[in-house]
């Protein structure tokens, strides 16, 4: 059996960290009643643990990345995963509402910075022309977690003790630290970017338009995913057991879509691939609202929506890197903040029509509207880039 290349081992190590991050972000949703019961709080109060983690991501992504930009990426990644491992392990020991709330916030801080630094490092290590595939391979850890890790972590937490899920996450974090230490090749200390160049990298219209696209457009996925259980049970007539199957189908779609999205970048430009993905997600979410009453069709749509949504993971990340020359790591971490804003915003806006009595199909339509808005933003970026390129050709 041939030995793994340095590049392959480094990407595997990065993907392991992505696996652990997805695990801690999503597994708590499956054990929330257990956590609420053990800490003697209501389900809505237990939901604050999800919000605290998301807030940690939004705060930590730009803050920790900016602090770490003067250090070699290998040391940064190791430090971030040590932090991740410590605070996720401590989550298992929390004894009351306030302690777990604080720990979840602290556990979320390295999330965005890890993806920001890791995506740039993966692209740097990749062979010429394969940067998007390298990023997709890193993100495959995130998507695989939704197929394997989250169901297993949910089962362990509900069968043994909710804290066992976080022990599992701590083990994954520890293995990631070991893998990064052994397999991530050293990187040179980054040169200090002149203030003017750094401002240019983070101040371009294209970058902020892309971050807005992420915050709005990917909210379409979370509008649907946040209310997938009541849709399947109340509208499609499925049992609670089938909800787990539906989430596995969605996770399998995410894995396939993520890998296909890397090829899309090679066939199309990153922004154009993003526009295609956003438009596809809008169409599939609208179709899901129509298909929701059909038990088999709605399960097929779970797979399709997961696949179409994650075709955009690599294109958006590559677009962010291309638009932020000199500040790639910081911009990539901001994209993770935008993704978590999409998480919160999608769930919030999709909940409004439910509260108004429009039923559980409405979130899919809200998601379609958010995704369509993201597609429009992507098209505007694409058209403006084309106009600028034509202008340069003339002059």
User: Where does CATH 1.20.1250.20 sit in the chain?
Assistant: 1-192, 195-395
Kindly state the average pLDDT of the residues 209-216. 92
The confidence band for 44, taking pLDDT boundaries of 50, 70 and 90, is low
Backbone angles phi, psi at 240, to 5 degrees: -60, -30
Identify the CATH assignment for 1-192 out of 3.90.650.10, 3.40.718.10, 1.10.1740.10, 1.20.1250.20.
1.20.1250.20
For residue 301, is pLDDT > 80?
yes
Q: Is the pLDDT of residue 199 over 60?
A: no
DSSP 8-state code for residue 189: P
Q: Tokens 């998480």 map to which residue?
A: 343
- Rounded mean pLDDT of 59-65? 84
Q: Report the chain's mean pLDDT, rounded to a whole number.
A: 85
Per-residue pLDDT at 392 exceeds 70: no
pLDDT single digits (tens) 344-391: 788 778 888 888 888 889 989 999 999 999 999 999 998 887 777 677
**Distance, CA of 287 to CA of 301 (rounded, Å):** 8
Question: Can you give the pLDDT at residue 203?
Answer: 59
What element of type H or E holds 95?
Answer: none
**Cβ neighbours, 10 Å, residue 385:** 17
Give the separation between CA 291 and CA 309, rounded to whole angstroms: 18
User: Taken in order 84, 86, 89, 91, is the CA torsion positive or negative?
Assistant: negative
Contact at 8 Å (CB) between 243 and 299?
no
Mean pLDDT of 2-30: 86
5 CB contacts (<8 Å, ≥6 apart)?
A: none
pLDDT of res. 368: 96
Measured CA to CA, the distance from residue 171 to residue 109 in angstroms comes to 19
Calculate ∠ Cα 385-211-149, nearest 5°.
125
Widest distance between CA atoms in the chain: 69
Region 234-242: mean pLDDT is: 81
Q: What is the DSSP string of 277-290?
A: HHHHHHHHHHHHHH
395 falls in which pLDDT band (50, 70, 90)?
low
Count CB neighbours of 233 within 10 A: 15
Per the CB < 8 A criterion, the answer to whether 371 and 213 are in contact is no
Q: Which CATH number fits domain 195-395: 3.40.50.300, 1.10.3720.10, 1.20.1250.20, 1.10.10.10?
A: 1.20.1250.20
Q: Which residue has the tokens 């777990």?
A: 100
pLDDT > 90: what percent of the chain?
35
Q: How many helices (H) and strands (E) does the chain have?
A: 18, 0
Residue 196 has pLDDT above 80, yes or no: no
Q: Which residue has the higher pLDDT, 202 or 387?
A: 387
Bigger pLDDT: 218 vs 243: 218
Which contiguous run of DSSP H or E holds residue 188?
none
What's the half-sphere exposure (Cβ side, CA atoms, 13 Å) at 29? 18
Alpha-carbon distance 180 to 138, whole Å? 13
- Looking at residue 295, what is its pLDDT? 92
For residue range 115-152, list pLDDT tens digits in order: 888 888 888 888 887 887 888 889 889 888 988 888 88
> Tens digits of per-residue pLDDT, 239-283?
767 877 888 898 899 889 988 888 888 787 888 899 999 999 999
């Amino acid at each position: 059996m041939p030995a793994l290349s340095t590049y392959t081992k480094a990407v595997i190590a990065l993907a392991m960290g992505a696996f652990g991050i997805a695990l801690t972000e999503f597994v708590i949703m499956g054990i929330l009643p257990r956590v609420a019961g053990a800490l003697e709080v209501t389900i809505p109060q237990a939901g604050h643990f999800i919000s605290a983690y998301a807030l940690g991501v939004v705060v930590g992504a730009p803050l920790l990345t900016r602090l770490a930009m003067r250090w070699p990426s290998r040391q940064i990644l190791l430090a971030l995963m040590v932090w991740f491992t410590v605070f996720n392990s401590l989550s298992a020991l929390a004894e009351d509402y306030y302690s777990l709330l604080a720990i979840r916030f602290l556990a979320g801080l390295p999330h965005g910075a890890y993806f920001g630094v890791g995506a740039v490092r993966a692209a740097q290590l990749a062979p010429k022309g394969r940067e998007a595939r390298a990023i997709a391979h890193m993100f495959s850890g995130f998507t695989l977690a939704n197929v394997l890790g989250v169901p297993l972590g949910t089962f362990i937490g509900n069968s043994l003790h909710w804290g066992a899920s976080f022990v599992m996450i701590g083990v994954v974090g520890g293995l990631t630290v070991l893998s990064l230490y052994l397999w991530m090749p050293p990187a040179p200390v980054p040169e200090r970017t002149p203030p003017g160049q750094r401002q240019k990298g983070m101040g371009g219209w294209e970058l902020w338009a892309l971050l807005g696209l992420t915050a709005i457009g990917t909210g379409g996925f979370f509008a649907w995913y946040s209310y997938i259980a009541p849709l399947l049970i109340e509208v499609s007539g499925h049992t609670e057991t089938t909800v787990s199957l539906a989430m596995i189908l969605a996770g399998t779609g995410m894995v396939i879509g993520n890998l296909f999205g890397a090829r899309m970048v090679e066939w199309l430009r990153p922004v154009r691939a993003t526009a295609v993905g956003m438009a596809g997600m809008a169409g599939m979410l609208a179709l899901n609202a129509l298909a929701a009453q059909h038990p088999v069709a709605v399960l097929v749509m779970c797979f399709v929506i997961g696949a179409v949504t994650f075709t955009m993971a690599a294109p958006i990340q590559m677009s962010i890197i291309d638009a932020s020359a000199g500040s790639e790591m910081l911009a990539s971490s901001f994209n993770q903040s935008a993704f978590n804003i999409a998480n919160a915003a999608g769930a919030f806006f999709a909940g409004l029509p439910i509260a108004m009595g429009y039923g559980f199909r409405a979130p899919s339509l809200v998601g379609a509207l958010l995704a369509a808005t993201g597609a429009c933003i992507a098209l505007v970026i694409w058209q403006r880039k084309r106009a600028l390129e034509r202008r340069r050709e003339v002059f």
